[in-house]
Structure 1
Amino acid sequence: MGIQNGGGPGPEGLTMTVYLDKMEVVKISDTGRGIPVPKSNDIDYRYSAQEKPPQMEPLNPISIEQPKGPSFRIKNRHRLGLSGPTGNSTLRPTNELVW
């Protein structure tokens, strides 16, 4: 299995003082809470790897389209941008050729 998620929980309370001119470690301070580091075969923190029941039923796909084109016009060299992941929209001026 190995390490699946290197970005999992890191060590807490571990501080190092480094002398950068000499590239030397001057001091190491460990004030952690004593949380054990997991074994290398047991640190897959991905949700898909957890043995948990699904939180909800999967959603049906959605399709939104305008087969005859948009119902609006944008004038004066502006561009409308839509962001799929966040659903945000922006209207900004542009110097590019607008069709």
Structure 2
Amino acid sequence: MIIGTAAIEFYIPQSHSLKDKRRVLKSIIARVSNKFNVSAAEIDLHELWGRALVGIACVSNDTRYANQVLSQIINMVENEITEAEMVSHGIEIW
């Protein structure tokens, strides 16, 4: 069993409260989860209004497939997500 994880840090410039932040994150997490059939959740920076760290997990039997899915997610976030800016990201495969 291969487990792939990605951590994406976001800057959310339009967020002026935790409620704004959670609304934006809920939308991003739903889009990623539905499009790629992965698990995603906010994993850190819970109390900061303008920043968020989202973790994504993918389980597969093929290392290349897990890496491909996570790379596609990173590309989608860079190109399609307009309500938040990706500050950094990382991918790990186990």
Normalising to structure 2: TM-score of the pair? Answer: 0.20
Larger Rg: 1
More helix by share: 2
More strand by share: 2
